[in-house]
Amino acid sequence: MSKVKVYVTLKPSLLDAQGKVVKVAAENLGYKNVSSVRIGKFIELEVNGAPDDIRQDVEELCSKLLSNVVIENYKYEIED
């Protein structure tokens, strides 16, 4: 069984409204060194199968289910 860590974030060209709110809140709390915040999703999967099959399944899951490829990027790490 392999553990897969998936990271989904908004594309850099899009305004991250949540990130902007967190940045302002951090500044209001006195954290003046925070220059940028981007909010995303972290998804952890446990997957069985051969490495090539796992990679193909994860790629399909990411592009069809876990992210909106129009506005989001994704990356993943597969751990044995």
- Give the CATH number for residue 55: 3.30.1280.10
pLDDT on residue 80: 87
**Tokens standing for 73?**
């990027």
Query: pLDDT per residue over 19-50, tens digit each?
Result: 999 999 999 999 999 999 999 999 999 999 99
- For the chain, strand residue ranges (E) read 2-10, 40-47, 72-79
| Cβ neighbours for 8, distance < 8 A, ≥ 6 positions apart | 40, 41, 42, 43, 62, 66, 67, 72, 73, 74
Residue-number span of the structural domain to which 73 is assigned: 2-79
> Domain tally for the chain?
1
19 Cβ partners below 8 Å, 6+ apart? Answer: 36, 37, 38, 39
pLDDT of residue 79 exceeding 90: yes
**Percentage of residues in the chain with pLDDT exceeding 90?**
99
- Given this model, what pLDDT does residue 25 score? 99
